[in-house]
Each structure stands twice: as structure tokens, then as C-alpha cells.
């Protein structure tokens, strides 16, 4: 899954659009869609997770979970590190 698809999945679950998340975050919708082909900047990832967390009325623990979930969608390095730790 790409970061852009992850955002869409979260937006759909919250009943909002990526356009609304872009507006609330101050990050252009084009940048959100551009994440299909490349990883987002870490500061954008954090801001987007913060907006999603606010929309779902989450707390610090849910914010941390969102950050980890978002990282899992963008980096194969993270996934490989987890696999190595589980061995």
C-alpha cells in the first residue's frame, strides 16, 4: 500500500476526502497524491497523522499508532527491520 492510498483509506473511514485532509493540513492535495510514486517528507507525514488523529478524536497513543502505521506504508526498510528483529 502506498502512503496516498493509506490516506484515502483513513479519509474514507472518517467520512472525509483527501481534499479535506489537504485543506486542514495545509499540504496541497497534489502532494498527497504524489505520494503514489515517492515517500512523503517526514514533516508532512507527521502533520497528516496529526490531522487524522484530530478527526478521529484520538489521544497520544492513537497518534503514535498512526505514525507507526504510516511509516509501515512508506518504507520497506522498516518492514525489513521488523522481520530481522522477529528472527
Q: Which structural domains are found in the chain, ordered by start?
A: 3-86 (1.10.260)
How far is Cα 55 from Cα 25, in angstroms, rounded to an integer?
11
Could you write out the three-class secondary structure of 24-58?
Answer: HHCCCHHHHHHCCCCCCCHHHHHHHHHHHHHHCCC
pLDDT digits 0-9 by tens, 42-62 = 899 999 999 999 999 999 999
Amino acid 76: pLDDT:
72
pLDDT digits 0-9 by tens, 7-53 = 999 999 999 998 999 999 999 888 777 655 667 888 999 999 999 99
Prediction pTM value: 0.82
pLDDT digits 0-9 by tens, 56-81 = 999 999 999 999 999 888 877 777 88
Amino acid at each position: 500500500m502506498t502512503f496516498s492510498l493509506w490516506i484515502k483509506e483513513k479519509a474514507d473511514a472518517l467520512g472525509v476526502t483527501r481534499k479535506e485532509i489537504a485543506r486542514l493540513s495545509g499540504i496541497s492535495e497534489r502532494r498527497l497524491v504524489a505520494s503514489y510514486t515517492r515517500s512523503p517528507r517526514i514533516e508532512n507525514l507527521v502533520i497528516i497523522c496529526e490531522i487524522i488523529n484530530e478527526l478521529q478524536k484520538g489521544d497520544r497513543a492513537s497518534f503514535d499508532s498512526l505514525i507507526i502505521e504510516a511509516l509501515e506504508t512508506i518504507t520497506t526498510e522498516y518492514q525489513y527491520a521488523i522481520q530481522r528483529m522477529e528472527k
